Amino acid sequence: MPPVAAAPPGPTGRSGLLRSLLSLVLALGLVLAAPVAAARALSAADLPARPPAEHVLDGADVLSRAGKAEIERQLQAFSAERVDARLVTLSRLDYGLDLSTLAGQLVQRWSADPPAGSSPDPLLLLLIDTQTRSTAIAAQAPLDRQLPDELLESTAATTMAQPLRSGDRYRQAAVDALLRLATVLQGGEDPGEPVVEEAAAVVSNIPTREETSSSNAFTWVIVLLVVGTVVPMLTWWVFSR
pLDDT (mean) for 140-161: 94
* Euclidean distance between CA atoms 20 and 31, whole angstroms: 17
Nearest to 129 by CA among 59, 69, 67, 177: 59
Query: What pTM does this model have?
Result: 0.66
**Are 44 and 105 in contact, with CB atoms under 8 Å apart?**
yes
Average pLDDT of the chain, as a whole number: 79
For the cut 70, the answer to whether the pLDDT of residue 178 exceeds it is yes
Decide the pairing of beta strands 123-129 and 134-139: antiparallel
**Are 135 and 101 in contact, with CB atoms under 8 Å apart?**
no
pLDDT (mean) for 180-202: 81
Give residue-wise pLDDT tens across range 32-91.
443 433 445 677 778 888 889 999 999 999 999 999 999 999 999 999 999 999 999 998
**pLDDT band with cut points at 50, 70 and 90 for residue 118:** low
Of 68-82, 115-129, 173-187, least confident by mean pLDDT is 115-129
